[in-house]
Structure 1
């Protein structure tokens, strides 16, 4: 069964090294997709946290509110809750930054592999999504 257009033949030999590059490309695509899903989830969580911070700021500072720690809710003063929310927000921002950097490194590796594979195989390989 030929996958190339009629009249066109593949004359490029696929070496073991080439197959390893193709496999690495595929693996990186999978990892990138996973990290994109994680990044989207982190961004959504950060939006929720930002909304929570705005709501908490509207409350009286001495008032006690329920704050979720693990699977339980505890009562704490608004000022203490604001500190915790700010700390969580910083942690989340760091996680978002780390995940974005990881995705960028995957993109760089993928671009490098694309260049190498297209240089050898030209139109005989399709690495676009």
Structure 2
């Protein structure tokens, strides 16, 4: 058994209720960023796939019916209507991507503010860096 000397306690800092709230807020921001980044990645991949389908459909005759996925099913519609639906989907994806980027930016800003406060009080006794 090892005895602690008085210098070992000098690194201990009391955690107040407001400190714990700040730590919890930081954790919530971190979780929201992770979720938003995962969703952002999926939306970007979906947008890329949509753009590829649009390019392929532009090569198809306008009188030809093409399968279009609605929900869990495919319906056959004319090429111009499919392109119209894909344009709408592409705009929706652009909006979703911008909103997710905004969410990530807001969370990062909140985390930076909390880092200043928490590192100021706890110094090296706390690790607030994201583990990517």
If the length of structure 1 is used for normalisation, what is the TM-score?
A: 0.89
* CA distance in structure 2 between the partners assigned to 1:94 and 1:72 by the alignment: 25
Q: Which residue of the partner structure matches residue 57 of structure 1? A: 58
Aligned length: 125
Q: Which residue of the partner structure matches residue 118 of structure 1? A: 119
- Cα deviation for residue 8 of structure 1 reads 7.4
Q: Which residue of the partner structure matches residue 18 of structure 1? A: 19
Q: Which residue of the partner structure matches residue 88 of structure 2? A: 87
Q: Which residue of the partner structure matches residue 74 of structure 2? A: 73
* CA distance in structure 2 between the partners assigned to 1:109 and 1:57 by the alignment: 44
Aligned pairs for 1:97-108 (under 5 A) are 97-108=98-109
Instruction: Tell me which stretches of 4 or more aligned residues in structure 1 moved more than 4 Å.
Output: none
* CA distance in structure 1 between the partners assigned to 2:67 and 2:12 by the alignment: 69
Runs of 5+ in structure 2 lacking a partner?
none
What is the aligned-residue RMSD (CA, Å)?
Answer: 1.8
* CA distance in structure 2 between the partners assigned to 1:128 and 1:8 by the alignment: 24
